[in-house]
Chains A and B, each alone.
Chain A
Amino acid sequence: MQPSYQPEPPAPKDDVLKSHFITREGTYKLMTLSEYSRPNRVPLNPQGGNNTSSAPVRVSFLSVPTSKLNDSVVLDGFGNSQENLTNGGGRDSPTQTDPYFCPDRICFNVGRELYVYVYRGVRSASDLSKPIDKRVYKGTYPTCHDFNQETATAESCSLIIGFSAGQIQLIDPFRKEYQVSRLYNEDRFIDKTRVTCLKWVPGQAQYFLASHASGHIYLYNEELPCSPGAPSYQSFKQGEGFTIYTCKTKSTRNPMYRWSIGEGAVTEFAFSGTDAKYLATVGHDGYLRIFNYHTMELLGFMRSYFGGLLCLAWSPDTKYIVTGGEDDLITVYSVQEKRIVCRGQGHKSWISQVAFDPFTTWLADGMPATSGVPIDLGSEEDLRPSSFNSSSGVFKSVAFRNNSSLLRSRSQKDSISSVSLGGCVTYRIGSVGHDTQLCLWDLTEDTLKQPSILGRHRNSTIIPVGGAPVPAPSSNCFVDAPKASGGKEEKPEKTKKLHKRGFSLGTKLGGNSTDRSGRSGTGSLPHDKDKGKDDPVSRLLGTPICPRMDDITVIEPLICKKIAHERLTVLEFREDCIVTACQEGFICTWARPGKAVLNHQQSINSPNPGSSPNLLPGGTVV
């Protein structure tokens, strides 16, 4: 339902891969010498005939502390100094003090292989012939992995790897001689399906979550052995569309919990931040679900326009979640307002990875984004104990990923000078997809503040599909309907809380609260058995959690560039660069504006042909 005046999204007709792109903050350049791949640089043939090629190439980063410095400022994802991790067992994550050297580590899987290298960002890549660790698997192949940022030291780290047949391995790539490899779900009693996503629980150093194609997520304690047989579960908590089970032996055996979510595979999940307060999941059933991780309550959900959701990411301030999926759309969901804020159309195919760029995301001018303002998610009394306190008031450089904990106010200021958007709330979103394109999007205040925009004029009457309960308005301005219905049950205390120092997002929220619709939506989460009789998806259409295309703002990408021959599978925003990876197994680093030339001259360990002539023929980039 493309509006008649909307031009086609920019789509390069030629097959030439882009090596740079320009946004208003400047030029991003592909650092050809920073490319990581298999040592022989042979692309993985995605149609190689065996199914190993179907496991998406994934990338994990680790910021390695050079040493355990007690005097360094410990930053959490919010840019705060932080002392109180919820779990006392969690070691401090020390900050990098030397600004010119970041000894990060990169882990990526290509086919049956898994590599760990030193990652040098915009500086040239490490010598690919000298990986820190390289593993080739038989029978099963790696599908995802994650470093434990909280426990990592210069000498030791924990890397968990998920496999196509459901197993999980824990290794320490820094200490190969001292093998600490541990296996979970080795006999596949717990789950036989592919591991789709694997993450350490922030703040709980020993615990990790693993989602599977079966639709289950399991909590593991790295210290515990797995059940010797099929675990016996007990229903622990139940809600619409999900059930959480405890394992009867949970104090002594893995898994500790099993979350059974929706129908079909859980494709990805993400914690809201370093406090692991919220857990968001997306799945093949097309639902995004947001849980309070600790109370295990469903706080909200939304539905794709159609098809499965494949990826998600939290905004740096945890107010929004962006998803991408099989409808070729990115969808931005407001966690507070429980409604879809906008959709983004620009990809030519399914979207495989989305991310917020915390370094190009702007919160309100001169004010800490949500200091002291709890996000009302319906069942929480105080959701955000830690308040924002950044040295730079204008630019909130907030990153929730473990690996981007190296935030420095200096760099924040650098970024500020490159863009002048003072006073505006702008979130930068990136997405990559099966169309081999990278898209960048700006989510502006205009888009955020309106519950629904009269962007489309459709003069027809609305006939709800499948008898949707949404009252079909008689007037043409049917887009006012959700607003009107939402207004009835407006929560006054919410308005009060959010009305802070002219922070426009909160101000707008009060008047346009669609809370009611969102919540009533929560109540109507489908029971699986109902499917086909009174179709839940059809019922959701036209509500704030699955609006019609005419009822919602549709944004277009700032840039849309073809950057690979094969589908893209990775997008990661780092302080000085953007990292992308494609299914052929090439991991590319794009220097941010102003970060390319200077740093490149300081290249420390260039993988030029001289250093390893046999292994890097020509040292050129494919």
Chain B
Amino acid sequence: MGANASQLEKEIGADHLLSNEHFYGLVNFGNTCYCNSVIQALYFCQPFREKILQYKQQLKKSGSQKENLLTCLADLFHNIASQKRRVGTIAPKKFITKLKKENESFDNYAQQDAHEFLNYLLNTISETLSEEKRQEKAAPASGSSKGGTLKKASLGGGAGANSVSPASTTLSLPPISSEAQPSCSSSAKPSEPTWIHEIFQGTLTNETRCLNCETVSSKDEDFLDLSVDVDQNASITHCLRVFSNMETLCSEQKYSCENCCSKQEAQKRMRVKKLPQILALHLKRFKYVEQLNRYTKLSYRVLFPLELRLFNVSDDAVNGDRLYDLVAVVVHCGSTPNRGHYITVVKSHGFWLLFDDDIVDKIDPATIEDFFGLSECGVQKNSESAYILFYQARDCSAIETNKTSLFNHQ
């Protein structure tokens, strides 16, 4: 490790751009690479890191003694950011212990799913933050109990706000008229939005057109990440387009149309209406195969560009052509979801680094190709393939970089 660290130090030493940046490997406490990989990816999501470090400053000021997953993560980030040496290894022991304590599903030495962990972490942080806000206000809580994940909670909020717009005679879905737009925004949200939402939350609009009365209804759903099906030799761009393909709801899946007051065949499509600051894309590489009675890995070759725009944006999206830059990739290595290893590739000041638990290496950007997947493969084949992609909107990166560099000088 020492040799590795000094090698990296040498490589980055000459570059002043990286002089304020810290690259710390994380010790693996027995199958905790799912955790390490996600933490590294989040650490290099600048807006997220900045908020976490700010939170740490607040904690310091207030002298708070509380300890939860958020404070543990803040300590860990602060620990990395305040190291004297720029390269080294840190043991995220406190965080892992807390994680296992707080959620029993992580309290074992089994291999966990990095995406599930990401989801859990973001939701837990968000819940902690909104709880704190509530306490700050010293006002009685809104009363609505939050069940499950945030995604589900906000999904429920939109359900009562279905909007209906007049039918169109053309084959196309008519653009949603302006009066139909304030769908779920007016309804009371079960939880207050936190900076987790500011950073990761986007909105999907679910448009359904009844094939009988041609009425189009739309419903908004918030998301913190998108789980997309993968296809052999496709790009992530294509997978996202397929995600938003028109579906026909028929036979058992018929749609109960409010206008017709009956079950009708309908066409449904989900497109992105609000694009998040950080777009987290989860590639659904683990597929349940009934014959085998277990999950297998789809090692498909799925290309992802370093720069991305979305094609599957709704007509009323406000920032539909937002430009994204790839900032981090969580890679799954292995043949099954329960066996294998997670590593992370991140971009920092234009350089690419690979984090493999406690090992950190600077890599050639061309190496990213190695994580696309395999083009000809059986379902069992071993692969090192991208599992979660983190794209950061360019319009927010400029501001963030400046802020972060200021912060690092403190």
Is B375 within 8 A of A2, CB to CB? no
Mark out the residues of chain B between 129 and 174 whose CB falls within 8 Å of any chain A CB in the assembled complex: 170-173
Q: Majority SS of interface residues in chain A?
A: loop
- The CA-CA distance from A436 to B244 in the complex, in Å, is 23
Total contacts A to B, CB within 8 angstroms?
A: 128
A307 to B326, CA, bound (A): 10
A386 CB-CB contact with B under 8 Å: no
- Interface residues in A323-355 by Cβ distance below 8 A to B read 326-328, 345, 347-350
Within 8 A of A (CB), among B61-96: none
Determine if A541 and B172 form an interchain contact, defined as CB atoms under 8 angstroms apart.
no
- Cross-interface CB contact of B235 among A47, A348, A541, A583, cutoff 8 Å: A348
Interchain nearest-CB distance for A563 vs B (Å): 12
Residues 214 to 233 of chain A near chain B (Cβ within 8 Å):
none
The answer to whether A465 and B173 touch (CB under 8 A), given A47-B374, A350-B303, A566-B376, is: no
B394 to A466, Cβ gap below 8 A?
yes
Q: Is B311 in contact with A1, judged by CB distance below 8 angstroms?
A: yes
Could you say which residues of chain A place their CB within 8 Å of the CB of B173?
Answer: 4
What is the distance, in angstroms, from B201's C-beta to the closest C-beta of chain A? 19
Q: Which residues of B contact A534 (CB under 8 A)?
A: 398
In this assembly, does A594 line the interface, its C-beta being within 8 Å of a C-beta of chain B? Answer: no
Contact across chains for B233 and A567 when beta carbons are under 8 A apart? yes
Closest A residue to B398 using CB positions: A532
What is the chain A residue whose CB lies nearest that of B383?
Answer: A47
Q: What residues on A are CB-neighbors of B316 within 8 Å?
A: 459-460
Question: How near does chain B come to A4, taking the closest CB pair, in angstroms?
Answer: 4
Interface residues of B in 225-271 (CB under 8 A from A): 231, 233-235, 237-238, 241, 244-245
A595 CB-CB contact with B under 8 Å = no
Whether A306 contacts B309 by the Cβ 8 Å rule is yes
- Interface check B305, CB cutoff 8 A: yes
Q: In the bound complex, do residue A538 and residue B323 qualify as a contact, i.e. CB atoms below 8 Å apart?
A: yes
A76 to B398, CA, bound (A): 51
Known: A535-B398, A541-B323. A434 touches B235 (CB 8 A): yes
Q: Does A3 contact B (CB under 8 A)?
A: yes
Chain A nearest CB, measured from B277 CB (Å): 13
CB of B318 within 8 Å of the partner chain: yes
- Give the chain B neighbours of A54 by CB distance below 8 A: 369
A460 to B307, CA, bound (A): 25
In the bound complex, do residue B309 and residue A305 qualify as a contact, i.e. CB atoms below 8 Å apart?
Answer: yes
Q: Which residues of A contact B366 (CB under 8 A)?
A: 213
Contact of B394 with A307 in the complex, beta carbons under 8 Å: no
Partner of A306, one of B233, B308, B369: B308
- Write the nearest CB–CB distance from B78 to chain A, whole angstroms: 25
Q: Which of A177-193 contact B (CB under 8 A)?
A: none
Per-residue interface assignment for chain A, residues 535 to 558, with 1 indicating a CB less than 8 Å from any chain B CB and 0 otherwise = 101100100000011000000000
Q: Which residue of A lies closest to B322 (CB)?
A: A465
A598 at the interface (CB under 8 A from B): no
B343: CB under 8 A from chain A? no
Q: Which residue of B lies closest to A460 (CB)?
A: B316
Q: Could you tell me the distance between the alpha carbons of A168 and B59 in the complex, rounded to whole angstroms?
A: 60
A residues 46-99 touching B (CB-CB < 8 Å): 46-47, 54
- A5-B319 CB under 8 A given contacts A307-B308, A348-B238: no
A328, A459, A548: the one within 8 Å of B237 (CB): A328
Interface size on B, residues (CB 8 A): 47
Instruction: Give which listed residue, A2, A213, A347, contacts B311 with CB less than 8 A.
Output: A2
Q: Are the C-beta atoms of A349 and B395 separated by less than 8 Å? A: no
Q: How far is the CA of A162 from the CA of B245 in the complex (A)?
A: 43
Closest-by-CB residue of A relative to B369 is: A54
Q: Determine the distance from Cα of A417 to Cα of B49 in the docked complex, in whole angstroms.
A: 66
Interface assignment of B315: CB less than 8 Å from any CB of chain A: yes
Contact B175 A459 (CB under 8 A): yes
- The residue in chain B whose Cβ has the minimal distance to the Cβ of A304 is B307
Contact with B along A345-384 (1 / 0, CB 8 A): 1011110000000000000000000000000000000000
Please encode chain A, from 297 to 317, with 1 for each CB lying within 8 Å of some chain B CB and 0 for all others. 000000001111000000000
Q: Are A532 and B307 in contact (CB under 8 A)?
A: no
Q: A307-B307, A326-B305, A567-B375 are in contact. Are A349 and B170 (CB under 8 A)?
A: no
Contacts of B323 in A (CB 8 A): 306, 465-466, 535, 537-538, 541
Bound-state CA distance A383–B114 (Å) is: 59
Taken together as a complex, chains A and B put the C-alpha atoms of A436 and B375 apart, in Å, by 10
CB distance from A56 to the nearest CB of B (A): 12
Contact check, A465 vs B321: say whether CB atoms are below 8 A apart.
yes
Chain A to chain B contacts (Cβ below 8 Å), 21 pairs:
A1-B310, A1-B311, A2-B312, A3-B172, A46-B375, A213-B366, A306-B307, A306-B309, A307-B305, A327-B309, A345-B311, A347-B238, A348-B231, A348-B233, A349-B233, A350-B303, A436-B375, A458-B315, A460-B315, A465-B321, A567-B301
**B binding-site residues for A, Cβ under 8 Å:** 170-173, 175, 178, 231, 233-235, 237-238, 241, 244-245, 301, 303, 305-313, 315-324, 366, 369, 374-377, 394-395, 397-398, 401
Could you list which residues of chain A lie within 8 angstroms of chain B, going by C-beta atoms?
1-5, 8, 46-47, 54, 213, 286, 305-308, 326-328, 345, 347-350, 434-436, 457-460, 463, 465-466, 532-535, 537-538, 541, 548-549, 565-567, 583
The list of the 8 closest CB pairs from A to B, nearest first, reads A307-B305, A5-B172, A326-B305, A349-B235, A4-B172, A348-B238, A306-B309, A4-B173
Given A54-B369, A308-B306, A348-B234, 13 more pairs with CB closer than 8 A: A2-B241, A2-B244, A4-B175, A46-B375, A305-B309, A435-B234, A465-B319, A465-B323, A535-B394, A548-B321, A565-B375, A566-B376, A567-B301
